[in-house]
């Protein structure tokens, strides 16, 4: 018995016509700039969605993800085909060289670049190097493109809302994006040669399929030959009674080029209920006839056969799902197309795939004499040209979940190690984040400094960006010397000085540099005297003195210093001004006046490291505060030059010890982001920071975090703050150095980044006793 929609599934509105060329074998008839395609009589639209950390979520979270995915399936329109696609693509060697390795520049730092490239090459040999992307294609029959666009606009909004509840970002694809996907499949190994411009193609009267079609395409009985590649389309024939939710994820872990397509066709509720009622009635009729036959033979105690009872139970359960449990009936088809370099390798890969499926009691079969139809079904056209549909309810279809584990592979990013689950390389580009600021968190010995140095070495060796470092423990000196940066030692006995009151030249029109500098000075003096007691009176006196100071020096070539401010405060008439002068004397005229003198070091080197280890406990908070202001001047200058600035603050927890410094840090952190800088805080005393509301807010709002081994008390607080599951938390529990969790935007992935100890890079970056 077939339901009505099944009879309509394979009719696409076009009669069959044998293709006369490779181009004609691609069943795309029209494309539009906005990504709508006309394929085989159906309009289709494609979206990319972000993976979700399903594999490392708790059981409760997994159940919640499946329930929300069920809601997404229930919202799909009745008259549409929905194709959920996983595209596995091995990284091309040329693409690997361009995106993951450093280019030599012909200077004395090339030896470090070559060593870095060798480390990455060795690590990626252990990785799958699979670029895995997830897509959803929806196709529908409409009379015109206008009707189709109206339909896709509505469906796109509903999809974005549904996937948003799954914490998965949905991105609409243009025709250029869709053509790129097909090009990379049809011309595997030639990804770097893709060059398509729709406007130019239209002006020349060229068919877009000329840009993506393979050189040849031959369909055999059980495989196809595409250029120099061999391929095969499989379909899922037998399903187990209880479908495991990790089946699809295991199939997608296969380290070869493949596309796995899950086609879901929703059945209208009225039609589904009517069909199930007919099926239940048919089973009941068969049982009644069987019992009547037994009664005629005077066998009144006979029970119906087990098969009949089981069928009646299943039919009633499915009908109950439809009528009382908000389930829908859907028709499901799973197809998989994979590629290999030789026919022998193709057969070997097919056996490996089918063996993986057998482990979950599923059976994949080869599509014999239907390879072309299967290929058109598996690729992202939104078509279905084979009949192998399976009837399921929503929950069963949701078990074919496309979600597994998140990978991060940003173009133009930095290599941060390997994903501990998928074994893929982790490539992050912090410049793509809305808020690129971040933190490195971990107990002593967990590898915080090593991880931060690995990143800044990438920035220094592979970009022209500036790098500024606040180094309270004098740990970054060897790295800075190796890259020809400048180390600046600031201490009471140092001959190097940085003036805290220089204005800099990075202000834009409309900004008030004196007002911004006044805010910094007020924060500085909060540490020098008890402004809580004197409140607004003290601030007013200081603010007035600052305005007088910069008015006096506005026509002078040199910048004012704290000693000049001290002099102007002495001239104020209020008695409170005398207390302010006395409190600040040690930092202006006394032994701790290192920041009250004119700058006598060159600050134009692109790599600056401020060593403040010898400032002492009294001067260190002021030193870090002054350096934040000096860094801000550089950030503002680079903003006008269109240049990025990377900032690293080691032992940042020192600033969370005081309310005045915490508030200034919060404001500076926001300004860094506004001006295009990327600031990183490194600290280990999480207890102190997580008890501070401002610090908690800064960490929770950060889109980039490197979490290494954590103390037991810190783990609990971090799990609550960042919504980390117990499984994810295990990666920062008694973990080895260089292993933990990396948060990049909405992705949270476990990583491994072991740097060989016999390399020059390791020796430069290590701070362990005996290795320095």
Spatial CB neighbours of 63, under 8 Å, sequence gap ≥ 6: none
278/290 same-domain check: yes
pLDDT higher than 70, residue 307? yes
User: Do 764 and 772 contact (CB within 8 A), yes or no?
Assistant: no
Distance CA 207, CA 92 (A): 26
Per-residue confidence at 245, pLDDT binned at 50, 70, 90? Answer: confident
Domain-embedded: residue 444: yes
179/280 same-domain check: no
How many Cβ atoms from other residues are within 10 Å of residue 41's Cβ?
15
Distance CA 232, CA 339 (A): 7
Domain-embedded: residue 527: yes
Output the pLDDT for position 334. 95
Output the pLDDT for position 336. 96
- The tokens describing 309, both together, are 């009872």
- The tokens describing 667, both together, are 């404001």
* Angle at which helices 513-528 and 616-641 cross, to 10°: 170
Looking at residue 476, the DSSP 8-state letter turns out to be: S
608/589 same-domain check: no
716/752 same-domain check: yes
Q: Which residue has the tokens 């061999």?
A: 230
Burial 247-273 (b: 16+ CB within 10 A, else e): bbbbbbbbebbbbbbbbbbbbbeeebe
260/366 same-domain check: yes
Query: Region 577-581: what's the mean pLDDT?
Result: 86
Domain-embedded: residue 110: no
Looking at residue 409, the DSSP 8-state letter turns out to be: B
Look at 510-519, 528-537, 717-726, 741-750 and tell me which has the smallest mean pLDDT.
Answer: 528-537
- Of 559, 581, 598, the position where a domain reaches its end is 598
- Which of 333, 352, 336 minimizes the C-alpha distance to 344? 352
Distance CA 490, CA 594 (A): 7
pLDDT higher than 70, residue 701? yes
SS3 label, residue 689? helix
Spatial CB neighbours of 403, under 8 Å, sequence gap ≥ 6: 51, 52, 54, 65, 69, 166, 168, 249
Distance CA 147, CA 13 (A): 16
- Enclosing domain of residue 539: 499-598
The alpha carbon of residue 655 and the mean position of all alpha carbons in its chain are separated, in whole angstroms, by 30
- Of 280, 304, 324, the position where a domain reaches its end is 324
Spatial CB neighbours of 701, under 8 Å, sequence gap ≥ 6: 435
Domain-embedded: residue 418: no
488/505 same-domain check: no
Query: Region 572-577: what's the mean pLDDT?
Result: 87
Q: What angle do CA 376, 378, 380 make, to 5 degrees?
A: 80
Output the pLDDT for position 339. 94
pLDDT higher than 70, residue 531? no
Domain-embedded: residue 5: no
178/302 same-domain check: no
List, for residues 723-754, the tens digit of each pLDDT value. Answer: 888 888 899 999 999 999 999 988 889 999 98
Per-residue confidence at 510, pLDDT binned at 50, 70, 90? Answer: low
- Helix (H) or strand (E) run with residue 456 in it: helix 448-462
Output the pLDDT for position 518. 83
490/576 same-domain check: no
Spatial CB neighbours of 496, under 8 Å, sequence gap ≥ 6: 488, 489, 490, 600, 601
Domain-embedded: residue 609: yes
pLDDT higher than 50, residue 1? no
CB neighbour class for 415 (10 Å; exposed up to 12, middle 13-18, buried from 19):
buried
Q: What angle do CA 179, 210, 38 make, to 5 degrees?
A: 50
Task: Tell me the average pLDDT of the chain.
Answer: 86
Output the pLDDT for position 151. 96
pLDDT higher than 70, residue 258? yes
Output the pLDDT for position 411. 80
Output the pLDDT for position 128. 62
492/593 same-domain check: no
Which residue did the predictor score with more confidence, 27 or 300?
27
Output the pLDDT for position 323. 79
Domain-embedded: residue 54: yes
Output the pLDDT for position 533. 46
Percent of the chain past pLDDT 90, that is, above it, reads: 37
- Which of 664, 585, 589, 661 minimizes the C-alpha distance to 620? 661
34/143 same-domain check: yes
Q: What is the CATH number of the domain that holds 537?
A: 1.10.8
Q: What angle do CA 219, 224, 230 make, to 5 degrees?
A: 155
How many Cβ atoms from other residues are within 10 Å of residue 9's Cβ?
17
- Which of 157, 228, 234 minimizes the C-alpha distance to 186? 228
Query: Region 653-674: what's the mean pLDDT?
Result: 81
Q: What angle do CA 332, 334, 336 make, to 5 degrees?
A: 165
Output the pLDDT for position 395. 86
Domain-embedded: residue 722: yes
Query: Region 231-252: what's the mean pLDDT?
Result: 89
User: Do 39 and 28 contact (CB within 8 A), yes or no?
Assistant: yes
Residue 329: strand pairing partners: 393
**Strand 28-31 with 229-238, pairing:** unpaired
Spatial CB neighbours of 447, under 8 Å, sequence gap ≥ 6: 708, 737, 738, 739
Output the pLDDT for position 99. 73
Has this prediction a pTM greater than 0.85? Answer: no
Q: What is the CATH number of the domain that holds 74?
A: 3.40.462
Q: What is the CATH number of the domain that holds 755?
A: 3.40.50.300
Distance CA 47, CA 138 (A): 9
Query: Region 291-314: what's the mean pLDDT?
Result: 83
List, for residues 405-426, the tens digit of each pLDDT value. Answer: 888 888 888 999 999 988 888 9
Highest mean pLDDT among 42-56, 302-316, 719-733: 42-56
Which residue did the predictor score with more confidence, 144 or 317?
144
- The tokens describing 115, both together, are 């060593």
Output the pLDDT for position 135. 96
114 to 101, 102, 463: CA distances (angstroms): 9, 8, 15
Per-residue confidence at 511, pLDDT binned at 50, 70, 90? Answer: low
**Strand 677-683 with 438-441, pairing:** parallel
139/237 same-domain check: yes
384/274 same-domain check: no
pLDDT higher than 50, residue 11? no
CB neighbour class for 534 (10 Å; exposed up to 12, middle 13-18, buried from 19):
middle
- Of 352, 380, 400, the position where a domain reaches its end is 400
Q: How many domains does the chain have?
A: 4
User: Where in 127-173 does DSSP place strands (E)?
Assistant: 130-140, 170-172
Look at 198-207, 290-299, 488-497, 650-659 and tell me which has the smallest mean pLDDT.
Answer: 650-659
567 to 207, 233, 537, 570: CA distances (angstroms): 78, 84, 19, 5
Question: How many distinct helices (H) and strands (E) make up the chain?
Answer: 27, 24
List, for residues 62-119, the tens digit of each pLDDT value. Answer: 899 999 999 999 899 988 999 999 998 877 666 677 778 898 999 999 999 999 999 9
């Amino acid at each position: 018995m077939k339901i009505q929609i099944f009879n309509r599934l394979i009719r696409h509105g076009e009669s069959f016509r044998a293709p006369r060329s490779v181009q004609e074998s691609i069943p795309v008839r029209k494309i539009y700039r906005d990504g709508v395609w006309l394929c085989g009589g159906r309009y289709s639209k494609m979206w990319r969605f972000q993976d979700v950390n399903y594999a490392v979520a708790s059981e409760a979270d997994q159940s919640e993800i499946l329930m929300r995915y069920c809601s997404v399936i229930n919202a799909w329109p009745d008259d549409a085909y929905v194709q959920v696609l996983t595209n596995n693509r091995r990284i091309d060697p040329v693409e690997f060289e361009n995106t993951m390795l450093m280019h030599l520049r012909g200077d004395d730092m090339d030896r470090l670049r070559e060593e870095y490239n060798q480390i990455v090459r060795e690590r990626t040999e252990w990785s799958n190097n699979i670029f895995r992307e997830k897509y959803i294609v929806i196709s529908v029959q409409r009379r015109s493109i206008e009707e189709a666009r109206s339909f896709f606009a509505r469906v796109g909004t509903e999809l974005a809302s549904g996937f948003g509840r799954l914490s998965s970002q949905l991105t609409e694809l243009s025709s250029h994006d869709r053509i790129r996907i097909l090009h990379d499949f049809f011309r595997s190994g030639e990804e770097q040669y893709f060059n398509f411009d729709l406007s130019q193609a239209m002006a020349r009267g060229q068919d877009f399929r000329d840009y993506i079609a393979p050189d040849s395409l031959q369909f055999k009985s059980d495989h196809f030959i595409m250029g120099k590649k061999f391929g095969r389309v499989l379909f899922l024939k037998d399903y187990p009674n209880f479908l495991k939710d990790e089946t699809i994820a295991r199939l997608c872990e296969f380290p070869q080029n493949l596309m796995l397509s899950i086609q879901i066709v929703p059945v209208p509720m009225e039609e589904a209920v009517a069909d199930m009622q007919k099926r239940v009635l048919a089973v009941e009729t068969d049982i009644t006839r069987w019992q009547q036959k037994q009664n005629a033979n005077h066998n009144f105690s006979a029970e119906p056969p087990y098969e009949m009872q089981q069928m009646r139970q299943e039919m009633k359960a499915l009908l109950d799902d439809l009528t009382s449990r908000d389930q829908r009936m859907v028709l499901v088809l799973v197809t998989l197309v994979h590629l290999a370099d030789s026919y022998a390798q193709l057969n070997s890969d097919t056996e490996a795939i089918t063996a993986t499926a057998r482990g979950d009691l599923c059976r994949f079969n080869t599509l014999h004499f239907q390879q072309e139809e299967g290929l058109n079904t598996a690729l992202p056209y939104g078509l279905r040209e084979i009949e192998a549909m399976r009837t399921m309810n929503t929950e069963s279809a949701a078990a074919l979940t496309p979600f597994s584990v998140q990978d991060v592979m940003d173009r133009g990013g930095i290599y941060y190690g390997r994903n501990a689950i998928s074994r893929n390389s982790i490539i992050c580009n912090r410049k793509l984040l809305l808020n690129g600021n971040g933190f490195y968190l971990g107990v002593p010995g967990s590898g915080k400094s090593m991880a931060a140095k690995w990143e800044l070495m990438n920035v220094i060796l592979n970009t022209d960006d500036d790098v500024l470092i606040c180094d309270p423990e004098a740990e970054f000196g060897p790295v800075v010397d190796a890259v020809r940066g400048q180390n600046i030692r600031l201490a009471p006995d140092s001959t190097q000085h940085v003036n805290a009151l220089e204005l800099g030249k990075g202000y834009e029109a409309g900004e008030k540099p004196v007002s911004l500098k006044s805010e910094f000075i007020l924060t500085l003096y909060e540490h020098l005297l008890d402004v809580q007691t004197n409140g607004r009176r003290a601030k007013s006196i200081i603010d007035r003195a600052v305005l007088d100071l910069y008015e006096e020096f506005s026509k002078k070539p040199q910048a004012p210093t704290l000693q000049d401010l001290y002099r102007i405060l002495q001239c104020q008439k209020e008695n409170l001004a005398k207390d302010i002068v006395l409190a600040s004397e040690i930092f202006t005229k006394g032994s701790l006046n290192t920041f009250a003198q004119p700058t006598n070091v060159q600050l134009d080197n692109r790599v600056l490291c401020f060593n403040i280890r010898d400032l002492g406990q009294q001067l260190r908070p002021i030193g870090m505060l002054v350096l934040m202001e000096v860094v801000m001047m550089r950030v503002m200058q680079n903003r006008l030059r269109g240049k990025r600035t990377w900032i690293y603050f080691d032992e940042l927890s020192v600033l969370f010890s005081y309310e005045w410094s915490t508030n200034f840090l919060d404001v500076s952190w926001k300004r860094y982001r506004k001006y295009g800088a990327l600031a990183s805080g490194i600290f280990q005393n999480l207890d102190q920071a997580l008890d501070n509301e401002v610090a908690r807010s800064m960490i929770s709002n950060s889109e980039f975090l490197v979490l290494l081994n954590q103390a037991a008390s810190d783990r609990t607080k971090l799990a609550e703050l960042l919504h980390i599951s117990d499984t994810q938390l295990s990666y920062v529990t008694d973990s080895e150095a260089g292993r933990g969790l990396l948060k990049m935007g909405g992705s949270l992935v476990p990583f491994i980044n072991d740097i060989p100890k016999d390399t020059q890079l390791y020796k430069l970056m290590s701070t362990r006793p005996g290795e320095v």
